[in-house]
Amino acid sequence: MIATIITQLLGALAVASAMMVVLSKHPVRSVLYLVVTFFFISGLYIMMNAQFLAIVNIIVYAGAIMVLFLFVLMLLNLNKDAEPKTPTIIWIISTVAGGVLFLVLVAALKDIVLVSQKDDFAPISNIGLVENLGNTLFTKFVVPFEISSILFISAMVGAILLAKRDKPTID
Amino acid sequence: MGATVNIDFFVILSSLLFVIGAFGVMIRRNMIVLLMCIELMLNAVNLLFVSFSTYYGNADAQIFVFFIIVVAAAEATVGLSILILAYRHLRSIDVSIFNKLKG
Protein backbone atom coordinates (compact mmCIF):
# COMPACT_ATOMS: atom_id res chain seq x y z
CA MET A 1 0.00 0.00 0.00
CA ILE A 2 2.85 2.37 0.80
CA ALA A 3 4.40 1.53 -2.58
CA THR A 4 1.21 2.60 -4.36
CA ILE A 5 1.22 5.93 -2.59
CA ILE A 6 4.91 6.48 -3.39
CA THR A 7 4.35 5.64 -7.05
CA GLN A 8 1.42 8.01 -7.40
CA LEU A 9 3.28 10.74 -5.56
CA LEU A 10 6.31 10.35 -7.85
CA GLY A 11 4.06 10.52 -10.91
CA ALA A 12 2.32 13.67 -9.71
CA LEU A 13 5.63 15.33 -8.88
CA ALA A 14 7.04 14.36 -12.29
CA VAL A 15 4.07 15.97 -14.04
CA ALA A 16 4.37 19.10 -11.89
CA SER A 17 8.06 19.56 -12.57
CA ALA A 18 7.52 18.87 -16.29
CA MET A 19 4.99 21.69 -16.29
CA MET A 20 7.57 23.91 -14.63
CA VAL A 21 10.06 23.02 -17.41
CA VAL A 22 7.62 24.34 -19.98
CA LEU A 23 6.34 27.35 -18.06
CA SER A 24 9.42 28.80 -16.39
CA LYS A 25 10.79 31.83 -18.18
CA HIS A 26 14.46 31.35 -17.56
CA PRO A 27 16.20 28.56 -19.55
CA VAL A 28 18.53 27.61 -16.69
CA ARG A 29 15.50 27.01 -14.47
CA SER A 30 14.01 24.87 -17.21
CA VAL A 31 17.15 22.73 -17.30
CA LEU A 32 17.15 22.30 -13.54
CA TYR A 33 13.46 21.38 -13.45
CA LEU A 34 14.13 18.87 -16.23
CA VAL A 35 16.85 17.27 -14.09
CA VAL A 36 14.32 17.04 -11.23
CA THR A 37 11.83 15.44 -13.63
CA PHE A 38 14.40 12.85 -14.64
CA PHE A 39 15.04 12.03 -11.00
CA PHE A 40 11.32 11.45 -10.44
CA ILE A 41 11.13 9.27 -13.55
CA SER A 42 14.10 7.28 -12.24
CA GLY A 43 12.21 6.83 -9.00
CA LEU A 44 9.29 5.45 -10.99
CA TYR A 45 11.70 3.04 -12.72
CA ILE A 46 12.85 1.83 -9.31
CA MET A 47 9.23 1.32 -8.26
CA MET A 48 8.78 -0.78 -11.42
CA ASN A 49 11.80 -3.00 -10.62
CA ALA A 50 13.93 -1.55 -13.43
CA GLN A 51 16.85 -0.73 -11.19
CA PHE A 52 19.61 -0.66 -13.79
CA LEU A 53 17.63 1.62 -16.10
CA ALA A 54 17.02 3.98 -13.19
CA ILE A 55 20.76 4.32 -12.61
CA VAL A 56 21.48 4.69 -16.33
CA ASN A 57 18.76 7.32 -16.59
CA ILE A 58 20.34 9.36 -13.82
CA ILE A 59 23.88 8.98 -15.14
CA VAL A 60 23.21 9.58 -18.83
CA TYR A 61 20.23 11.94 -18.82
CA ALA A 62 20.56 13.93 -15.62
CA GLY A 63 24.34 13.64 -15.61
CA ALA A 64 25.56 13.94 -19.18
CA ILE A 65 22.87 15.36 -21.44
CA MET A 66 21.63 17.98 -19.00
CA VAL A 67 25.19 19.10 -18.26
CA LEU A 68 25.61 19.50 -22.02
CA PHE A 69 22.53 21.73 -22.10
CA LEU A 70 23.79 23.77 -19.14
CA PHE A 71 27.18 24.10 -20.79
CA VAL A 72 25.66 25.42 -24.01
CA LEU A 73 23.50 27.87 -22.02
CA MET A 74 26.63 29.07 -20.25
CA LEU A 75 28.49 29.44 -23.57
CA LEU A 76 25.72 31.48 -25.17
CA ASN A 77 25.57 33.88 -22.19
CA LEU A 78 21.92 34.79 -22.61
CA ASN A 79 20.32 37.52 -20.57
CA LYS A 80 16.69 38.03 -19.72
CA ASP A 81 15.96 40.21 -22.77
CA ALA A 82 17.05 37.42 -25.11
CA GLU A 83 14.11 35.25 -24.05
CA PRO A 84 11.67 35.35 -26.99
CA LYS A 85 8.05 36.26 -26.37
CA THR A 86 5.20 34.02 -27.46
CA PRO A 87 2.06 35.65 -28.88
CA THR A 88 -1.20 35.08 -27.01
CA ILE A 89 -2.86 33.44 -30.00
CA ILE A 90 -0.11 30.78 -30.01
CA TRP A 91 -0.82 30.12 -26.31
CA ILE A 92 -4.52 29.60 -26.96
CA ILE A 93 -3.98 27.41 -30.01
CA SER A 94 -1.31 25.34 -28.25
CA THR A 95 -3.45 24.79 -25.17
CA VAL A 96 -6.36 23.58 -27.27
CA ALA A 97 -4.12 21.40 -29.42
CA GLY A 98 -2.36 19.91 -26.41
CA GLY A 99 -5.63 19.13 -24.68
CA VAL A 100 -7.01 17.50 -27.80
CA LEU A 101 -3.81 15.49 -28.22
CA PHE A 102 -4.08 14.26 -24.63
CA LEU A 103 -7.71 13.28 -25.11
CA VAL A 104 -6.92 11.40 -28.32
CA LEU A 105 -3.96 9.59 -26.74
CA VAL A 106 -5.89 8.53 -23.66
CA ALA A 107 -8.94 7.54 -25.68
CA ALA A 108 -6.82 5.48 -28.05
CA LEU A 109 -4.83 3.82 -25.28
CA LYS A 110 -7.88 3.14 -23.12
CA ASP A 111 -9.28 0.76 -25.69
CA ILE A 112 -6.23 -1.46 -26.00
CA VAL A 113 -6.94 -5.03 -25.08
CA LEU A 114 -4.18 -6.30 -22.85
CA VAL A 115 -3.25 -9.91 -23.23
CA SER A 116 -2.85 -10.59 -19.55
CA GLN A 117 -5.01 -8.76 -17.05
CA LYS A 118 -3.09 -8.62 -13.83
CA ASP A 119 -3.84 -6.74 -10.68
CA ASP A 120 -0.43 -7.07 -9.12
CA PHE A 121 1.42 -4.75 -11.43
CA ALA A 122 5.06 -5.19 -10.50
CA PRO A 123 5.83 -8.56 -8.96
CA ILE A 124 9.29 -9.04 -7.54
CA SER A 125 11.41 -10.09 -10.48
CA ASN A 126 14.96 -9.76 -11.71
CA ILE A 127 14.39 -8.73 -15.31
CA GLY A 128 15.58 -5.19 -14.62
CA LEU A 129 18.95 -6.26 -13.22
CA VAL A 130 22.14 -5.81 -15.17
CA GLU A 131 22.80 -9.53 -15.66
CA ASN A 132 19.54 -10.21 -17.43
CA LEU A 133 19.66 -7.00 -19.47
CA GLY A 134 23.25 -7.64 -20.52
CA ASN A 135 22.37 -11.16 -21.65
CA THR A 136 19.55 -9.83 -23.78
CA LEU A 137 21.58 -6.92 -25.14
CA PHE A 138 24.57 -8.97 -26.24
CA THR A 139 22.69 -11.91 -27.69
CA LYS A 140 19.38 -10.86 -29.15
CA PHE A 141 20.12 -7.20 -29.82
CA VAL A 142 23.81 -7.29 -30.68
CA VAL A 143 23.36 -5.92 -34.23
CA PRO A 144 21.41 -2.80 -33.11
CA PHE A 145 24.01 -2.36 -30.39
CA GLU A 146 26.82 -2.20 -32.96
CA ILE A 147 24.77 0.10 -35.19
CA SER A 148 24.23 2.44 -32.26
CA SER A 149 28.00 2.72 -31.88
CA ILE A 150 28.20 3.83 -35.52
CA LEU A 151 25.46 6.36 -34.76
CA PHE A 152 27.50 7.72 -31.88
CA ILE A 153 30.63 8.07 -34.00
CA SER A 154 28.74 9.88 -36.74
CA ALA A 155 27.07 12.17 -34.17
CA MET A 156 30.45 12.97 -32.66
CA VAL A 157 32.05 13.72 -36.01
CA GLY A 158 29.03 15.76 -37.05
CA ALA A 159 29.09 17.80 -33.85
CA ILE A 160 32.79 18.56 -34.23
CA LEU A 161 32.41 19.50 -37.89
CA LEU A 162 29.40 21.70 -37.19
CA ALA A 163 30.85 23.53 -34.22
CA LYS A 164 34.21 24.19 -35.87
CA ARG A 165 35.00 27.72 -37.00
CA ASP A 166 34.48 28.49 -40.66
CA LYS A 167 38.10 29.44 -41.32
CA PRO A 168 40.49 27.03 -39.68
CA THR A 169 43.73 28.64 -38.60
CA ILE A 170 46.02 26.28 -40.45
CA ASP A 171 48.90 27.89 -42.30
CA MET B 1 8.74 -3.74 -4.05
CA GLY B 2 5.46 -4.96 -5.41
CA ALA B 3 3.67 -1.77 -6.26
CA THR B 4 0.04 -2.59 -6.83
CA VAL B 5 -0.53 0.19 -9.33
CA ASN B 6 -2.63 -0.46 -12.37
CA ILE B 7 -1.10 -0.15 -15.84
CA ASP B 8 -3.65 2.57 -16.64
CA PHE B 9 -1.90 4.89 -14.24
CA PHE B 10 1.32 4.65 -16.22
CA VAL B 11 -0.45 4.96 -19.57
CA ILE B 12 -2.11 8.19 -18.46
CA LEU B 13 1.03 9.48 -16.77
CA SER B 14 3.24 8.99 -19.81
CA SER B 15 0.55 10.43 -22.11
CA LEU B 16 0.43 13.47 -19.87
CA LEU B 17 4.22 13.87 -19.91
CA PHE B 18 4.26 13.48 -23.70
CA VAL B 19 1.54 16.10 -24.11
CA ILE B 20 3.39 18.50 -21.82
CA GLY B 21 6.48 18.06 -24.00
CA ALA B 22 4.49 18.66 -27.18
CA PHE B 23 2.84 21.70 -25.58
CA GLY B 24 6.27 23.06 -24.75
CA VAL B 25 7.44 22.55 -28.33
CA MET B 26 4.41 24.52 -29.48
CA ILE B 27 4.57 27.47 -27.09
CA ARG B 28 8.27 28.07 -26.52
CA ARG B 29 10.40 30.11 -28.92
CA ASN B 30 13.72 29.39 -27.25
CA MET B 31 15.56 26.72 -29.18
CA ILE B 32 17.29 25.17 -26.15
CA VAL B 33 13.98 24.77 -24.35
CA LEU B 34 12.57 23.20 -27.51
CA LEU B 35 15.32 20.56 -27.45
CA MET B 36 14.60 19.98 -23.75
CA CYS B 37 10.93 19.46 -24.47
CA ILE B 38 11.89 16.85 -27.06
CA GLU B 39 13.93 15.09 -24.35
CA LEU B 40 10.86 15.20 -22.12
CA MET B 41 8.76 13.54 -24.82
CA LEU B 42 11.39 10.83 -25.29
CA ASN B 43 11.33 10.21 -21.54
CA ALA B 44 7.57 9.84 -21.60
CA VAL B 45 7.94 7.12 -24.23
CA ASN B 46 10.67 5.47 -22.15
CA LEU B 47 8.35 5.41 -19.15
CA LEU B 48 5.66 3.66 -21.15
CA PHE B 49 8.19 1.14 -22.48
CA VAL B 50 9.42 0.30 -18.99
CA SER B 51 5.93 0.01 -17.57
CA PHE B 52 4.87 -2.46 -20.26
CA SER B 53 8.15 -4.32 -19.86
CA THR B 54 7.34 -4.77 -16.18
CA TYR B 55 3.76 -5.63 -16.96
CA TYR B 56 4.65 -8.46 -19.33
CA GLY B 57 7.83 -9.52 -17.55
CA ASN B 58 9.85 -9.10 -20.74
CA ALA B 59 13.24 -7.40 -20.89
CA ASP B 60 13.15 -6.46 -24.60
CA ALA B 61 11.44 -3.13 -23.99
CA GLN B 62 14.13 -2.12 -21.52
CA ILE B 63 16.74 -2.72 -24.24
CA PHE B 64 14.69 -0.44 -26.46
CA VAL B 65 14.91 2.21 -23.76
CA PHE B 66 18.68 1.95 -23.99
CA PHE B 67 18.55 2.60 -27.71
CA ILE B 68 16.22 5.56 -27.17
CA ILE B 69 18.71 7.00 -24.70
CA VAL B 70 21.49 6.52 -27.29
CA VAL B 71 19.48 8.28 -29.98
CA ALA B 72 18.57 11.07 -27.55
CA ALA B 73 22.21 11.64 -26.68
CA ALA B 74 23.20 11.80 -30.37
CA GLU B 75 20.28 14.09 -31.14
CA ALA B 76 21.14 16.45 -28.29
CA THR B 77 24.77 16.63 -29.39
CA VAL B 78 24.04 17.42 -33.03
CA GLY B 79 21.12 19.72 -32.19
CA LEU B 80 23.13 21.76 -29.74
CA SER B 81 26.03 22.13 -32.16
CA ILE B 82 23.63 23.30 -34.87
CA LEU B 83 22.24 25.75 -32.31
CA ILE B 84 25.69 27.13 -31.53
CA LEU B 85 26.39 27.49 -35.25
CA ALA B 86 23.11 29.33 -35.82
CA TYR B 87 23.73 31.55 -32.79
CA ARG B 88 27.11 32.58 -34.18
CA HIS B 89 25.51 33.64 -37.44
CA LEU B 90 22.31 35.26 -36.20
CA ARG B 91 23.04 36.21 -32.55
CA SER B 92 19.68 34.82 -31.46
CA ILE B 93 18.13 31.54 -30.39
CA ASP B 94 14.60 32.48 -31.36
CA VAL B 95 13.23 29.75 -33.64
CA SER B 96 11.11 32.20 -35.60
CA ILE B 97 14.28 33.87 -36.89
CA PHE B 98 15.41 30.61 -38.44
CA ASN B 99 12.94 30.79 -41.32
CA LYS B 100 15.61 32.19 -43.62
CA LEU B 101 15.86 28.82 -45.37
CA LYS B 102 12.41 29.54 -46.80
CA GLY B 103 12.86 29.98 -50.52
Among B63, B83, B87, the strongest candidate for a mutation testing the A interface, having the largest count of A CBs within 10 A, is: B63
A110: which residues sit within 8 A by CB, 6+ positions away? B8, B11
Structural domain boundaries in chain A: 1-83
How many angstroms separate the CA atoms of A154 and B78, rounded? 10
Q: Which residue of A has its CA nearest to B82?
A: A162
ipTM score for this prediction: 0.90
- Each residue's pLDDT, cut to its tens digit, for chain A (171 residues) gives 788 899 999 999 999 999 999 998 888 899 999 999 999 999 999 988 888 999 999 999 888 999 999 998 888 877 666 677 788 898 999 999 999 999 998 888 877 766 665 655 655 677 778 888 888 889 999 999 999 999 999 999 998 888 777 665 555
Q: Kindly state whether A125 is in contact with chain B, defined as any CB-CB distance less than 8 angstroms.
A: yes
Say yes or no for a CB contact (<8 Å) between B81 and A53.
no
List domains and CATH numbers for chain B.
Answer: 7-96 (1.10.287.3510)
A83, A86, A105: residue with CB nearest B19: A105
Q: Which residue of B has its CA nearest to A129?
A: B59
Say yes or no for a CB contact (<8 Å) between B78 and A86.
no
- Which CATH number does the domain A1-83 belong to among 3.30.300.130, 3.40.50.150, 3.40.50.1000, 1.20.120.1200? 1.20.120.1200
